[in-house]
Amino acid sequence: MDVPILLLAGTGLARGAIFAAFALALVLIWRAARIANFAQGAMATVSCYVAFHVTALTGNYWLGLAAALVSGAVLGWVVERGVMRFVDRSNPLAAVIVAIGLVMVLTSTLAIAFGADYRPMPAPFPREPIRIGDVAVISPYSLFVLAVVAVLMLALALLFTRTGVGLAMRAAAFAPEVSRLNGVRVDRMRTLGWTLSAAVGGLAALLVIPTELGLNPHAADLLFVYAFTVAIVGGLDSPVGAVVAGLAIGVILTFVTAFAGATFAPIAIVVILLGVLLVRPQGLFAAREARVA
Partner 1 sequence: MTDTLTATARHDAQPAALLEVSGLVAGYGQGEVLHAVDLSVPAGSVVAVVGANGAGKSTLLRVLSGLLPAAAGTVRFDGDDLASAAVEDRIRRGIVHVPEGRHAVAELTVDENLRLGGLWRGDRRELRADVDAAYDLFPALAARRTSHGHALSGGERQMLAIARALVAHPRLLLLDEPSLGLAPRIVAEILGTLAHLRAERGLAILLVEQNVRSALSVADTGVVLNLGSVVAARPSAALLDDEQLRHAYLGF
Q: Which of 127, 131, 185, 280 binds partner 1 (CB under 8 A)?
A: 185
**183 touching partner 1, by CB under 8 A:** yes
Distance CA(184)–CA(45), nearest Å, equals 33
CB of 33 to partner 1, least distance (A): 17
> Nearest approach, Cβ of 60 to partner 1 (angstroms)?
37
- Give whole-number Cα distances, 41 to 113, 200, 203, 270, in Å: 18, 11, 11, 19
Instruction: Find the shortest distance in angstroms from Cβ 236 to partner 1.
Output: 15
Least Å distance between CB 170 and partner 1? Answer: 7
158 binds partner 1 per the rule CB under 8 A: no
Interface with partner 1 (CB under 8 A), residue from 63, 171, 240, 258: 171
Pick between residue 133 and residue 183 the one whose CB is nearest to partner 1.
Answer: 183
Which residue, 113 or 181, has its beta carbon nearer to partner 1?
A: 181
Q: Which of 9, 66, 94, 167 binds partner 1 (CB under 8 A)?
A: 167
Assess 178 for contact with partner 1 (CB under 8 A): yes
The site map against partner 1 for 37-56 (x = CB under 8 A) is --------------------
For partner 1, how many residues bind (rule: CB under 8 A)? 17
Q: Is 131 exposed, middle or buried (0-12, 13-18, 19+ CB in 10 A)?
A: exposed
C-beta closer to partner 1: residue 66 or 167: 167
Q: Which stretch binds partner 1 (CB under 8 A): 79-87, 140-148, 169-177, 191-199?
A: 169-177
d(CA 196, CA 70): 10
Whether 22 and 44 have beta carbons less than 8 Å apart is answered as yes
Nearest Cα neighbor of 271 from 258, 286, 247, 253 is 253
Q: Tell me if 119 contacts partner 1 by CB under 8 A.
A: no
- Choice from 1, 93, 113, 181 touching partner 1 (CB under 8 A): 181
Residue 133 binds partner 1 (CB under 8 A): no
Residues that bind partner 1 (CB under 8 A): 164, 167-168, 170-171, 174-175, 177-185, 287
